[in-house]
Structure 1
């Protein structure tokens, strides 16, 4: 991404029938990410400043970054550097934040509103065109996994 380019923020929200702690585990555990994140395994210690990587089935990175905020089980932010194709590799400097908010409505099962915010995206870029369907698919996959 060239410096000085205009950027936008894309936001995606879904409600999942699970407690925030359960959603957090699914976000941060490799045994769960393989089930909902394009069969990728996540690797990180989840400490602020730690690297994060999503690796494909061959062990090759698809997305790299650094943990910027880690407040289990409610908030996680990372830098986001896509490397899954040549077309998106230039898009460094974006940020992804997950906000997990429990509903206070005594519903059974407990519910969590998951808000994913991807900022620093150049409008109309290849990355911009890929993240909208990509994040929507991933959130639906996460919901399906946790509610089945």
Structure 2
């Protein structure tokens, strides 16, 4: 296999429907994603943008798959760091599977570039974001505040 990949698996004590809602409701996303805005229509083929709280574009892409409450995939590119943008498009897939009284969430973020700086960057961000998501759904509060 060529390219670079980051995979993160967590189990969240919730239902697939509640987790799906948390992944696709902009107001809820802002709570665990450090006040970032996800701007999209949440349907296959729709453009997607992630915006910093001040409105600057962080990342862009497109909704590649939308299969509630099982699978969500994005075509994804960084827009604010030239060295990351130069690596091109990545793919982020979120898979939800019922697991007893929880939901197994698997996030796979991959890019064709070997030794990708972009994948290095997201491998530091995803654990914080997904820990916040898990904490917010299970306790009502995020675990990690903004930097």
Residue equivalent to 1:116: 107
Structure 1 residue 55, shift from structure 2 partner: 1.0
Structure 1 residue 125, shift from structure 2 partner: 2.8
Q: Distance in 1 between the 2:70 and 2:119 partners?
A: 26
- Structure 1 unaligned residues grouped into runs of 5+: 1-5
SS of the aligned residue for 1:144 comes to helix
Structure 1 residue 96 and structure 2 residue 92: aligned? yes
Q: Distance in 2 between the 1:91 and 1:27 partners?
A: 26
- Structure 2 unaligned residues grouped into runs of 5+: 140-147
Residues 1:99 and 1:124: Cα distance change in structure 2 (over 3 Å): same
RMSD: 1.4
1:25-64 equivalent positions in 2, closer than 5 A: 25-64=21-60
Residue equivalent to 1:3: none
1:7-86 equivalent positions in 2, closer than 5 A: 7-86=3-82
Contact 1:122 / 1:128 at 8 angstroms: preserved in 2? Answer: no
Structure 1 residue 145 and structure 2 residue 136: aligned? yes
Q: Distance in 2 between the 1:28 and 1:91 partners?
A: 26
How many residues in Structure 1 have an aligned counterpart in Structure 2? 138
- CA offsets per residue over residues 28-78 of structure 1, 9 Å max, x none? 111011111131011111111001111111112111110111001110001
Structure 1 residue 15, shift from structure 2 partner: 0.5
TM normalised by structure 1 equals 0.86
Q: Distance in 1 between the 2:9 and 2:125 partners?
A: 13
TM normalised by structure 2 equals 0.87
Structure 1 residue 121, shift from structure 2 partner: 4.9
